[in-house]
Every structure is written in structure tokens, then in C-alpha cells.
Structure 1
Amino acid sequence: MNRTASIRRKIGIVLVLFLCLAASSGPIRHYAAFPDELRLFEGQSKRLHYAMPVHAQGSLDPQVAVVNGANREHFPVDLNKPLSIESKNSGVTKLKLRLFGKIPFKTVKLQVVPDLRVVPGGQTIGVKVKSAGIMVVGHHLIRTSPETRMSPGEEAKLRLGDLIVEINGQPLNDVSKVAALAEQAGKSNVPLDLVVQRGKSRFRTQLKPAFDLEDKVWRLGLYIRNSAAGVGTLTFYAPDQGVYGALGHVITDMDTQTPIVVGDGQILQSNVLSISKSQNGEPGEKRANFVKEGKTLGSVERNTSFGIFGKMRELPDHGLHQKPVPVAFAEEVEEGPAEILTVVNGQKVEKFNIQIVHVAKQTSPATKGMVIRITDPRLLERTGGIVQGMSGSPIIQKGKLVGAVTHVFVNDPTSGYGCYIEWMLQDAGIVLQPNQTTSKAV
């Protein structure tokens, strides 16, 4: 019995060693790394390598792509040599490999999307936005009698960050008109009918203004705001679509920290006056002003987790790139050297070296796609690392626009997060999808 158990243990050890050797062998590693799905732009090529000493039969729709130059549906493949896939037309197909022409070995879903090129930004821009309503940013206590202080807005269950989108059935985002409505409702002793947006839901409520004995006016007991302004960095301009993307992160109200629902807005030319350098625990910032002539460059139509987006009438001056460059899919971004484009003085866009130290695998939109570190001694000397106002600075790797700077690490301002450009393009209305009309499986 003991001898049988000993033999089984030895066999088990041998099997474990065999599996470890197999898993660490080149062919098995290459096979494990071989993708199940592959995305390419029209005209883009990709090399895949199995490093397996066997021959196979391949099949692929030659209208979408070709392998090793074979412009036909079926072709022989030597898996010990790299496979060169060259995309041709937008569409979806499947690359199927069969050992000895019969045994299914690997199937790769191949998507080819229309070629897309955009102009990288880097220019500092001024941003002015108006909310799609009136934002509640605080409660104000009103003296309604010698002994009593109260807030009608608080009694109406309004919270910080709520957006009042209608008053008495009329859309409203002009703060200056609220006082007259409050006085009219107070004098007639009729409450205001409100439509309020809280997050993604809307509800109705009534708010009865109270007379302020100290100031002798009717008040709502609310601190309200409908606009915001600041500076950031332009990430890209897509000339074929006439749209832009900037900032790389959502604009929030400074008091409530809730995202601003944009009603309308503009981006303007801006000029960097000075830099407050970043230090550990203290992020710095760009000090900038809007250019005097106040030239409007474009509109602000959306404010999302990945920045602001809208139509652009005119590209800002002083860009390093006048011609469009290719963009990268999220899965193409690699750890290693890259560059950012940004302004640290005046309106001049400059190029600085960085290192992408970590990339997260993302198949759907998510922030914090990569971790970057500033390595350029010139930028470190002038800014101390990443500063506020640098968000949106485009990240270039191997000649492609791959993402944008989004956040700084407070305790290490030389490092921060970046998002993938694919998600910004999507929020700008540019979806990287193949034309289904040429799709074919073989």
C-alpha cells in the first residue's frame, strides 16, 4: 500500500513538472498570448507569432484583410513563422486556423474599422459653461421673525447639487431672474412649482418663498449658481467630424463637487501667465487668462467623465501638429516611453518626455487607464511634475495619439493618471466600429 502511494506521488510530481515545463515553453506562451479578438484600422498591419513547428490551413475574408499577402480565402500557414495581417476594408471577419487543414486550432475575430486621424492639441484653453438649470450650492437661513430662522429651500427637500431645471413650467438657467419670481410668488402667497434633477432622475416639488425681515426681500433660502469658468488643455480636434475633446475629466461644481450638467458653453484661446510648481502634498497649477480678444473657438455640448466635448469652429494657434495623426486602440498602448504636449508659458505648445509605467486592460470605458510619470528634466524643473490645468494634455506614443493626462498623484506630483483616447473619441461622438456591410465569416 505504501509502495503504491509512493509511486502515485512520483507520477504526480512528474506530471506537475511536465505541466510547468509546458507552460513555460515558447510555443505554449505564444499560444496563450495569441488574441481571441483583434482590431485594426484600415491600412494597418499586425504581426502575430505562434512559434510552433507545424503547418496549418488558414481562412479569412480577403475583402477585409489578407494574411502574408495571400489575397484569397484559403491559404497555407507555417505557424513557426510570424503571420502578417494586413487590413484592407472596414468590416468583420474571422481568421480560422486548422492543423493539417482539418483540426480546428484557433479562431480570431478580426474587426477592421475606418481609418481615423485627428490633430493633437496641447494648447491651453479657457472654458466657460452654463448649467442646464440652476444649481443648488448651499442653504441660506432667513430671519422670518425675531425668534425664527429657516430655509424654504431646505424645507422643500432640496439638496446640494440639485439642479432646478424648471420654475412654474418654464425652463430656466438664468440666476438673475430668480429674485423676481420669488418676489411675485411671495406677494401672491403662491408657492413656486419646481422641476428638479437629482443625478439621473427628476422630480417635482413646491417651494414657498419667505420674507427676510433683515433685508426686506422675498428669498428662497438657497445659494445658487448657473455657471463655471476655468482653464484646461485641448486634447484633440477631429477635422472630418468638426469636433474636439479636452480636459480628460469631468467638470464639477467647486462647492458641491457634483458634475455640471451643461446647458451651453464656449472654449476660448488662453494664455499661461505663470506656473505654481507642484510639491509633495501640494499640486501646483497653471495661472492663465483668456486672450483679450475673447475669440470663441468652439462650443461645449457635453461634460462627461472623460472631459468636455463639442463643435470646434477654429483650431487654436501655436499647435505643434498641423496635420492629423493616427489614434490607438486601448489595447495598443504599451508600458514604455511616450510624450505629452502642453503649454507652460504663454501659448507655445511644447513636447515633453514621459514614461507610461502601467496600463490597465479595459474593454469598456473606464477612467484611470494608465499611470504615467514625468521624466523630462525640463518639465520637472519648470512645473515640479503634473499641475492643475495640464489635464487633457495629449499623450503620444510611437507617433499615435493614445490618451490624455487626467489626474496628478497628490503625494507624488511627478506621476498621475491618463485615460485612453478611445473613450474620449467615443464621448465626442466618434465610435470606432467597423462597417457591418462588408462583414463576412469564412
Structure 2
Amino acid sequence: MLRIEIARIQRLGAIFFAILLVFACLSPVSRSIYGLQPRQHVLVGESLDLSLNLPPSISKSLIIQADQPNVLKVVRPGTAPVVQSTGEFNVSIKLFGVIPLRHVTVTAVPEIKVVPGGQSIGVMLNSSGVMVVGEAPVFDQSGRESSPARRAGLAPGDLITKINGRSVSSEAQMRESIEELGRNQKPVVLTVKRNNKTFKTELKPIFCQETGRHRIGIMIRDGAAGVGTLTFYEPKSECYGALGHMITDSQTMHPIELSDGKIVLAEIQGIRPGRRGQPGEKLGSFANDLMLSGNIKSNGTYGIFGALDEPLKNPLFGRPIPVGLLHQTKVGPAKMLTVLDGQRVESFDLVIEKVRPESVHDGKGLVIRIVDQRLLEKSGGIIQGMSGSPIIQNGYLIGAVTHVFVNNPARGYGVPVEWMLRECGLLSVPNKTGNVGQSTINLLNPCRIVA
């Protein structure tokens, strides 16, 4: 009997302990401790983000230590330490210096100051080959429909890099080569890149009765041009960032592999307002103004990057402003810089509705809403051509407009500028990349050439 009572007491004790453990884990204190980000990116001179929901008496008993000397400075007991030097180090948080509560990996970077953009730019991108964007069947002399390209396994999104061993970089070169080989009754051997894999395929051109030349039955494009917005310029490196997302082919949605390209100043001549289900757009032309021009070195996940020919000046800012990292970005009011008329950069009100650090794979780290009445009346909200428009909050450049909600043009997405800076090399911290969805760059030459 005594043994049964002891076993019963032990079971009750275990249940009581389990209940206490559950309540402890669900308490605000526990949630705040285990809710700390295990990896933090901070600026030198900034405090660590240690938002612990602890009573003051316990906060003063916390011991915060780094695994490297002289990287942290405690201003006063009970407050988060200030980061003093760059680099990556590990921080342990202990109660009374004995009980471990949390470990955090910290990457500290120097403060970066940039000139905000907002200028409308013309983007001209040449691809490293000719992209297949669709099928265009050939009608032979008997009127029969044929598609040599389909039989050879070509598909939209394929990048043709060579014809019979010779590099191809333009639509005209592609057409001329196919015509010459077809006239001489020689096969066409294409070197094709698809999903980072390269293969060869052979096909025979057919004389097309409609066009009067030899063709293989595809629609092709050799580059892209459009209007977007400059996001920032970093004076020391002369590096700029723009658009906030990758340029993709408008038909296939595949990334355009960059051969070379350039940006120039654009002039906005009109606005087509956005409506529910119908995105609006800026109507612009490339300006013959050398005040803003540069090359394109990268067509990346979070924008296009390169060097400007001349230092950038922004009439709204007399000097560069600091960059805000993602953890400094807060839900609340902010400003957007963009052009609605001519070349004049203006500031408009918006609200950051949500910060989404988990969206690093698609670049949609910010959910934004336009609240500026003048902008809503003029454009309906976010429109094509605003892609890359800088977002400024509390004096920091924190992001760029990238996407519009098709069913509500007043709302859209933005990319944190921290992710753009990582990609162009101004912030040397680890990053995950991926593709982005529908964007707000305005392609000016969506025409397709048949081959």
C-alpha cells in the first residue's frame, strides 16, 4: 500500500512539475528570452536588440558577455550594451553570470551613408544571348504549319548563346545566321542554356512563305529597356542601386542574363493612373541629359547595380543620409521619393504596415500603403515605373518600392535596403537569394522578333 502511495505521489509531482514548466514557457519573460533573434546585424555604435520583458531587479542581474574582447560597451547596468567594433562575434546572456538564458550571433557593420535617389531612369539591358520568348510556327510553300524549334525541344525561357559555334548576341545576328544556313541547306546547331545547364540541339530551317525568309519557328528577344527609379548612390564606391528587384523577361518571367547595359536619366511625360485589377504606369522617355548616367554591372535578385559616371545630387538632401538596417525598420509612417512630372523628385507619405524579415527569398520584406492624397489622386497609388523609389523613415534610408497589389494599387511591397546593400557588396554579411514576382519596372520594348 505504501509503495502504491509513493508511486501516486511521484506521478502527481511529475504532472505538477510539467504544468509549472508549461506555464513558465508560456510566460512573457520566457517568450521574450526565446523570442530574441539568434542572429543580429547591427551598426557600430548601436545597442544590441535585447528587448527582454524582465523586472528591473532581474535585468540588473543579467551578465552579457562576448567571445571577443572590447567589442561591447555597457553604458549602465540593466541596459543593452553598445557595439564598438566591426566583425562577427557570439554573445551569451546569463542570469547572475551562471544561468545561461540565450546565445546570439552578432554581425556588426560600419555605418553606411548614401545619397537617396528618387530620379526616374531609363534602363537598357543587353542579354548574354538571345532569349526564346514564344513560339511562331512557320508556314512552308505548301501552306503547311511547321515548327522545327518545337521538334528540337526549344522552350520559352531558353537562352541561345551560339549558332554553329559562333556567339550570338542580337536578334538581327540570329535572323541573318538562320537565313544564311537555310539558303545553303545547312543544319542549324544551337547552343542553349536552360536552368544553368547547357545543351546543343540541331534543326533544319524552313523557308517561310509569309515572311519570305528561312525560319525555325520561335519568337526571340535580345534585351530589355524600361523606366524605373534610382534608389541610392554611395559616394565612396561610386556604386548605385536601383529598381529593388531583378529584371525578368515580361513573357517568360525568366531572369535576363546580363551582357552589358546602361542607365540614363528619364523624363516623365505623363501618368496613367492605376485602378483595381489594372496597374497604372509612368509614361516617360530617355533624356539626353548627362547629369545622370552609368553602367549596369549586375542584374541581381534585389535590383540592378553599377557605377555612375558623375556623383549624384538630390535637391531634397544636401548631404548623404545613413542607411537603416531591417531591425531598425518599424511599422508606421515613412516617406517615398519619386518623380511624377518631368525630372522633379518629390516626397510622398506612406505607411509601413508590416516588416517581414522571413521574406528574404522573394524580396518582399515590407508591406506598404500609400496615404498621400496628392499621390493617390495623380497615380492611384503604386504604378509601373516607381520600382526602386526610396523609402525613408526617421532620417534613414530603409527600403525601396518594388511591387504593387494588383487589386489594390494603394498597397504593395518594398525591399529592405539592407538586402540591396548586401547584394552589391557594400554590406558583407551572409544572405539567401531567390526570385521575385510581379514588379513595377515599366518595359518600353516588349516587341518580339520571329526567327
The TM-score normalised by the length of structure 2 is 0.83
Q: What SS is found at the alignment partner of 1:339?
A: strand
User: 5 Å matches for 1:36-435?
Assistant: 36-46=38-48, 48=50, 50=52, 51-52=54-55, 53-54=57-58, 55-60=61-66, 61-68=68-75, 78=77, 81-83=78-80, 85-293=81-289, 297-315=293-311, 318-362=314-358, 364-433=360-429
Q: What SS is found at the alignment partner of 2:268?
A: strand
Number of residue-to-residue matches in the alignment: 422
- Which deviates more, 54-63 or 201-210? 54-63
Q: What SS is found at the alignment partner of 1:183?
A: helix
Q: Distance in 2 between matches of 1:9 and 1:379?
A: 67
Q: Greater strand share, 1 or 2?
A: 1
Q: Distance in 2 between matches of 1:281 and 1:125?
A: 26
RMSD: 3.1
Letter in 2 for 1:261: E
Q: Distance in 2 between matches of 1:424 and 1:44?
A: 21
Letter in 1 for 2:46: Q
Cα offset for 1:293? 4.2
Q: Distance in 2 between matches of 1:268 and 1:119?
A: 17
CA contact (8 A) 2:33 2:101 kept: no
Q: Distance in 1 between matches of 2:316 and 2:364?
A: 26
Sequence identity, in percent?
40
Post-superposition CA distance 1:95-136 (Å, at most 9, x none)? 334433433344333322233222221111111111111122
Q: Distance in 1 between matches of 2:28 and 2:140?
A: 81
Residues 32, 268 of structure 1: alpha-carbon distance in 2 compared, 3 angstrom cutoff: same
Post-superposition CA distance 1:123-164 (Å, at most 9, x none)? 111111111111222333333232523122222221122111
CA contact (8 A) 2:115 2:312 kept: no
Q: What SS is found at the alignment partner of 2:173?
A: helix
Q: Distance in 1 between matches of 2:116 and 2:292?
A: 19
Q: What SS is found at the alignment partner of 2:140?
A: strand
Letter in 2 for 1:421: V
- Which runs of 5 or more residues in structure 2 are unaligned? 1-8, 431-451
Cα offset for 1:25? 5.7
CA contact (8 A) 2:129 2:222 kept: yes
CA contact (8 A) 1:365 1:423 kept: no
Residues 362, 432 of structure 1: alpha-carbon distance in 2 compared, 3 angstrom cutoff: farther
Cα offset for 1:87? 1.8
Cα offset for 1:364? 4.7
Residues 132, 238 of structure 1: alpha-carbon distance in 2 compared, 3 angstrom cutoff: same
CA contact (8 A) 1:121 1:319 kept: no
Q: 1:74 maps to which residue?
A: none
CA contact (8 A) 1:269 1:316 kept: no
Letter in 2 for 1:244: Y
Cα offset for 1:173? 0.7
Q: Distance in 2 between matches of 1:335 and 1:109?
A: 25
The TM-score normalised by the length of structure 1 is 0.85
Residues 16, 320 of structure 1: alpha-carbon distance in 2 compared, 3 angstrom cutoff: farther
